[in-house]
Amino acid sequence: MTDTTILFRDALQSVYGALDWIPVPDGAIHRFHVPGDKPGTLAGWYVLYLDNIASGAFGSWKTGGASTWCSREPVDAREAEQVRQRIEQARRQRESEQKRRQLKAANLAQRWWRDARRADPDHPYLIAKGVRSHSLRQRRDELLVPLYSGGVLVNLQRIAPDGSKRFLFGGRIKGTYSPLGRITPGKPLCICEGWATGATLHESGYTVACAMNAGNLKPVALALRAEYHSVEIIIASDDDRTTPGNPGRTAANAAAAACGGLVTFPEWPADAPLTLTDFNDLAAWSRHHEHA
């Protein structure tokens, strides 16, 4: 165990908190459990090289991004170049590992989707959200929401009866979306976050792409804009009124600006509770309200 591996571990711990293991400096990509993540998950990764100047890189598959680390400043151009090459090598390793994981998830998604049955219209989640099942499928008691990129099924969002959601492990999310309806020239395209929100909008007559979360609105808007140059894009925003900075609105405005689209927000009646945040919430609340 060298001082270097301890210093590198200190760098990791400054980001992730206490780790009860020592990094292996063999220049290969290693995975580790990030404290605070779900038990059994290995979302963290690192690479550590020991020659001359020890250098490495680390990050989390879940949050994305990467940090680089050096044991000391390079003393000359040769050392600086060596470190640069090492960091570049780590980046390539990370990218090929990520591609491998995404391909594995896409294969699983395609197999599950092929073998799944049509979604039960009485699935508890659909009942709770007050929407039809549309093109969803079901595997055991989980709804499967298909996520496409460039027309290829690459991931699934699984929705349990209690409404909890998870993607396939290692599956691609950025820039992927779940479509409702056919994108046609002359008809506006709505981009929203969650699938239930999309179902509500689709049932009002819109063609919809569900981006799954606020952070993915912009990547999806840009991908669809590149594919459909002239279609009018409307970002149907969540309105996170009680969350500081209102991430739903902020992300929707940024996505609309990036793709030259419009933004629409739910219009809240004066007596609508603050817990409502999206178009599906508004529709469900209005429905109960009318019957009350």
292 has a pLDDT exceeding 70: no
Amino acid at 54: A
What's the helix, strand, coil split of the chain in %, to 5? 35, 20, 40
pLDDT tens digits along 129-188: 999 999 999 999 999 999 999 999 999 999 999 999 999 999 999 999 999 999 998 999
288 has a pLDDT exceeding 90: no
Q: List helix spans (H) across the chain.
A: 3-16, 77-115, 124-129, 195-203, 217-227, 247-259, 279-291
Return the half-sphere exposure (C-beta side, CA atoms, 13 A cut-off) of residue 14: 9
The pTM of the full predicted model, rounded to 2 decimals, is 0.89
- Six token digits for residue 31: 């995975």
Is residue 158 within 8 A of residue 143, CB to CB? The reply is: yes
φ, ψ of residue 216 to 5 degrees: the values are -100, -5
Task: List the strands of the sheet with 142-149, edge to edge.
Answer: 117-118, 137-139, 142-149, 152-159, 165-167
Is residue 154 within 8 A of residue 106, CB to CB? The reply is: yes
How far, in Å, CA of 34 to CA of 39, rounded?
9
Spatial neighbors of 58 by CB under 8 A, at least 6 apart, are: 11, 12, 15, 44, 45, 46, 47, 66, 67, 69
67 has a pLDDT exceeding 70: yes
291 has a pLDDT exceeding 80: no
For residue 199, what pLDDT band results from cuts at 50, 70 and 90? very high
- Domain regions of the chain by residue span: 3-104, 116-291
Q: Look-up: residue for tokens 């055991």?
A: 140
How far, in Å, CA of 222 to CA of 224, rounded?
5
Q: Report the pLDDT value the prediction gives residue 6, as an integer from 0 to 100.
A: 95
How far, in Å, CA of 195 to CA of 207, rounded?
13
For residue 260, what pLDDT band results from cuts at 50, 70 and 90? very high
